[in-house]
Chain A
């Protein structure tokens, strides 16, 4: 076990609150977990040295930080600063049918519910998920009442000062027939360390629109997960945008716990310098008639490294499942690295499951077409490479977010191309 983990466990043992049984369980599991090495499959391409030597520390003094404004987006802001929930940034009045509260402040019946679902959607195999179970101080619980549609998106921001350590956790529950949009964002300022996990319980016929922006770069260590449990006829549409950092690791789990659930996941990442971004996406089709569509696209420049592990597990009873996984990667430099692994495990016999992973150069026909119009080869290459990512931006359901992120990605892309 690493020194870092030992000290984390020691610190966690000092926390005594409503989550005590769950935290104790996580600590038990952590004590039995081997610190991942290159031989640990889930961490094979993502060495944990940056965690072991992180200078980041918990900062308990109050720091004033607020999330960046996004034009044309009016969100309900749920803000953590250096791991602490900042209630002052939350609107005084919330739309009817929506509740956002610290788990510790809930009434006993609701608190018991929250305790019961805590860490049941996020699988126990995520070692930093367990760390987060044990160390996330302010656990915020978001719930939408049955049949209620919340028009305003909720933005969960985890903001970090330079050198700060933070562990944030949100539990989101959509009751039957409800609708909600949630944006997860981490904004860190260097040498920071954070784990940010959110669990979503999406009720029967409920609709979740989800975004996760992992745009921290540089010397930050950012580890987190978004985990979804889908009941009958639930629908989710998730978009992940990632830039790399010294170590960025994201785990998503989509669990089809009900029939006729429908999940879409579009993920794009653009890496530069010596950055690393690792996405592990797992889909569990436990019940019949589910549908999953995953599109993961990645562009790597310079000496950056991308990891994608896309697992689809179709259980024996999950007949009539339709699952598609498409992973396309572009290399802009011969020193950059892409490690992609689709993993399909299918135990039902009447399913459609397709997957493809490519690491490629750009489409020659399209390049020629642009050139015949007078566009130079180099400019055409930039247009096509950006188009490769832009296609997924076009699919983002929220126009304000798409128009906000598009120039940010374009800018980053331009920097990547310059080298």
Chain B
């Protein structure tokens, strides 16, 4: 199964939070440029996957392996994972009063450029880039001066996440329930932003409960996550099937063979 072309390879991952096992043998292989949607009922472990991959404190991996671009992701500190090209767009972005959005963005970009051995970007050049990114995600430029996510509406926070993605140019973006709390207009803005970033060397994991987001961000693959494992995989049509059926059929606990058979 190991593929040298893969960007992300997860093998038999078991992970827990506060002693409770949430991920129970998850396998996933993502090649550059692919968009994978992960769907599933509440409590299936969708958000946990993003936290485990980004290395959040309190989320411990018991067994299995994860490689990003061939490197062992699980051995890295959270910031090194980001520098290696991993980006997690949060379902609930954190408010940080007292740290301006611009300072935060510049520190992030500086850290990643430094890690790649690139020269630091001047403040003036960065401001130009940041303003352009603001425009692209439809946020007023004044938001650069405000505290990180401080007092932003749900939609503004999601657009701020998207702006970070535009500036950081990651290899793998995990969008954690990016559609939650967004009205249809905000959803379109975010989806357009994501689509503009799709390219042959950038991959996405789109974590969502609803099919709605996938109308705008067309996935190459759809996986159903239930009780910590991927129980079914397919193409975009699987999302439509799920939309029609709901997740109730998962409660019957069918075996993987039955599902894939």
Q: In the complex, what residues of B have CB within 8 A of residue A369's CB? A: 90, 93-94, 96, 148
Choose among A371, A373, A377, A379 the residue that contacts B164 (Cβ–Cβ < 8 A).
A373
A205 to B198, CA, bound (A): 59
Would B79 and A366 count as touching, CB distance under 8 A? no
A371 to B79, CA, bound (A): 5
- Does A1 sit at the interface, judged by CB under 8 A? no
Would B108 and A374 count as touching, CB distance under 8 A? yes
Q: In the complex, what residues of B have CB within 8 A of residue A4's CB? A: none
Q: In the complex, what residues of A have CB within 8 A of residue B57's CB? A: 364, 368
- Does B184 sit at the interface, judged by CB under 8 A? no
Q: In the complex, what residues of A have CB within 8 A of residue B104's CB? A: 370, 373, 383
Asked, given contacts A372-B82, A377-B79, whether A394 binds B98 with beta carbons under 8 Å apart, the answer is: yes
Q: In the complex, what residues of B have CB within 8 A of residue A377's CB? A: 77-79
- Does B111 sit at the interface, judged by CB under 8 A? yes
Would A384 and B96 count as touching, CB distance under 8 A? yes
A383 to B111, CA, bound (A): 13
Q: In the complex, what residues of B have CB within 8 A of residue A391's CB? A: 97-98, 147
The A-contacting residues of B in range 60-108, CB under 8 angstroms, are 77-79, 81-83, 87-88, 90, 93-94, 96-99, 103-104, 107-108
The B-contacting residues of A in range 362-404, CB under 8 angstroms, are 363-366, 368-377, 379-380, 383-384, 386-391, 394
Q: In the complex, what residues of A have CB within 8 A of residue B99's CB? A: 383-384, 386-387, 390
Would A383 and B103 count as touching, CB distance under 8 A? yes
Mark B97-124 against chain A: 1 for CB-CB distance below 8 A, else 0.
Answer: 1110001100110011001000000000
Asked, given contacts A368-B56, A373-B82, whether A387 binds B97 with beta carbons under 8 Å apart, the answer is: yes
Residue on B with the closest CB to A364? B57
A375 to B96, CA, bound (A): 14
Would B111 and A376 count as touching, CB distance under 8 A? yes
Residue on B with the closest CB to A389? B98
Mark A336-379 against chain B: 1 for CB-CB distance below 8 A, else 0.
Answer: 00000000000000000000000000011110111111111101
A368 to B90, CA, bound (A): 11
Q: In the complex, what residues of B have CB within 8 A of residue A394's CB? A: 98, 147
Q: How many A-B residue pairs have CB under 8 A?
A: 81
Q: In the complex, what residues of A have CB within 8 A of residue B168's CB? A: 373-374
- Does B54 sit at the interface, judged by CB under 8 A? yes
Residue on B with the closest CB to A387? B98
Would A390 and B79 count as touching, CB distance under 8 A? no
Would B115 and A374 count as touching, CB distance under 8 A? yes
Q: In the complex, what residues of B have CB within 8 A of residue A384's CB? A: 96, 98-99
A379 to B78, CA, bound (A): 13
Q: In the complex, what residues of B have CB within 8 A of residue A387's CB? A: 96-99, 147
- Least Cβ–Cβ distance between B18 and chain A, in angstroms: 14
A376 to B110, CA, bound (A): 11
Q: In the complex, what residues of B have CB within 8 A of residue A372's CB? A: 54, 78-79, 81-82, 87-88, 90
Chain B residues within 8 Å of chain A by Cβ, number: 30
- Least Cβ–Cβ distance between A72 and chain B, in angstroms: 17
Residue on B with the closest CB to A367? B57
Would A375 and B107 count as touching, CB distance under 8 A? yes
A374 to B81, CA, bound (A): 8
- Least Cβ–Cβ distance between B105 and chain A, in angstroms: 8
A394 to B145, CA, bound (A): 10
Would B90 and A374 count as touching, CB distance under 8 A? no
Asked, given contacts A369-B90, A374-B82, A374-B168, whether A379 binds B111 with beta carbons under 8 Å apart, the answer is: yes
Choose among B78, B111, B147, B164 the residue that contacts A368 (Cβ–Cβ < 8 A).
B78
Would A376 and B79 count as touching, CB distance under 8 A? yes
Q: In the complex, what residues of A have CB within 8 A of residue B147's CB? A: 387, 391, 394
Q: In the complex, what residues of B have CB within 8 A of residue A380's CB? A: 79
Q: In the complex, what residues of A have CB within 8 A of residue B87's CB? A: 372
Q: In the complex, what residues of A have CB within 8 A of residue B54's CB? A: 372
**Most B-side CB within 10 Å, residue of A363, A364, A386, A391:** A391
Mark B173-190 against chain A: 1 for CB-CB distance below 8 A, else 0.
Answer: 000000000000000000
**Most A-side CB within 10 Å, residue of B77, B79, B97, B115:** B79
Q: In the complex, what residues of A have CB within 8 A of residue B90's CB? A: 369, 372
- Least Cβ–Cβ distance between A413 and chain B, in angstroms: 12
Residue on B with the closest CB to A392? B98
- Least Cβ–Cβ distance between A398 and chain B, in angstroms: 17
A203 to B168, CA, bound (A): 54
A386 to B103, CA, bound (A): 12
A386 to B112, CA, bound (A): 22
A377 to B82, CA, bound (A): 12
- Least Cβ–Cβ distance between B50 and chain A, in angstroms: 9
Asked, given contacts A376-B111, A379-B111, A383-B103, whether A371 binds B78 with beta carbons under 8 Å apart, the answer is: yes
**Most B-side CB within 10 Å, residue of A370, A383, A384:** A370
Q: In the complex, what residues of A have CB within 8 A of residue B88's CB? A: 372
- Least Cβ–Cβ distance between B233 and chain A, in angstroms: 27
A377 to B107, CA, bound (A): 12
A380 to B97, CA, bound (A): 14
**Most A-side CB within 10 Å, residue of B77, B82, B87, B98:** B98
Q: In the complex, what residues of A have CB within 8 A of residue B148's CB? A: 369
Would A374 and B103 count as touching, CB distance under 8 A? no
New A-B pairs, 8, CB < 8 Å, besides A366-B96, A368-B57, A387-B96: A368-B78, A369-B96, A372-B54, A373-B111, A374-B108, A377-B77, A380-B79, A390-B98
Which A-B residue pairs are the 3 nearest by beta carbons?
A387-B98, A391-B98, A373-B108
List 30 interface pairs A-B (beta carbons < 8 Å), by A numbering. A368-B57, A369-B96, A370-B96, A370-B108, A371-B82, A372-B87, A373-B82, A373-B104, A373-B111, A373-B168, A374-B79, A374-B82, A374-B108, A374-B111, A374-B115, A375-B108, A376-B111, A377-B77, A377-B78, A377-B79, A379-B107, A380-B79, A383-B99, A383-B103, A383-B104, A384-B96, A384-B99, A387-B98, A387-B99, A394-B147
B residues bordering A, Cβ < 8 Å? 54-57, 77-79, 81-83, 87-88, 90, 93-94, 96-99, 103-104, 107-108, 111-112, 115, 147-148, 164, 168
A residues bordering B, Cβ < 8 Å? 363-366, 368-377, 379-380, 383-384, 386-391, 394
